[in-house]
Structure 1
């Protein structure tokens, strides 16, 4: 089975996790599917997607060091371009460096 076919068998949450881990080498990565909270939204119905449209993402990565919040979010969106083009409607992103997490 090719990697594309194998990837298609994974849930969107699993694909998001895999793509973000690969791109950002995350030391912490939490993916929470909150699609059920948005099931009636017009944009979700229009996308034709059967669920898995809205996610909360928490990523801790050293690759965010020195980057603005906008650039960190851009890095996440860039890693998930395929998902955004295939029914992923919205992300809520928390993007921190390991140092920022350690301060808490």
Structure 2
């Protein structure tokens, strides 16, 4: 983050998407061309975590509370040749900027096209 940037500057991407779920959907669809993509925001179940509240305020400002914990189900041909750990690493790499700006946790179910 640049010293002159406000936290909210970093929650909008080039396409103008300010909702984390929308941004992650666009990133994952572009990178993985999934046949199935389900993203659920589970942040409310974790809002009592002290580190979550302080990390959100530091990364995105107090007006942007939430959007920190997600579950995802993804089916993609891109996973066909990858082992489970490599699949998780790939998704984490695709979403690395989101992790830098307030995303805290993902619960992933990742399958290749032949496993669905």
Same-fold call, TM cutoff 0.5: yes
Q: Which residue of 2 aligns with 1:38?
A: 46
Corresponding residue to 2:26 among 9, 15, 18: 18
- Gap change, CA 1:5 and 1:24, over 3 Å in 2: closer
Q: Which residue of 1 aligns with 2:7?
A: none
Please give the secondary structure, in 1, of the residue aligned with 2:39.
strand
TM-score by length of structure 1 reads 0.87
Q: CA RMSD in A?
A: 1.3
Unaligned 5+ residue runs, structure 1?
Answer: none
Q: Aligned partners of 2:20 and 2:114: how far apart in 1?
A: 29
Residues 1:85 and 2:93 are matched in the alignment: no
Q: CA deviation at 1:5?
A: 6.0
Unaligned 5+ residue runs, structure 2?
Answer: 1-12
Runs (4+) of structure 1 moved beyond 3 Å? Answer: none
Q: How far does the alpha carbon of each residue in 1:30-84 deviate from its partner, in whole angstroms, 9 at most, with x for none?
A: 0000100000112211212510000001110000012111000001001101100
Q: Which residue of 1 aligns with 2:9?
A: none
TM-score by length of structure 2 reads 0.79
**Count of residue correspondences:** 97
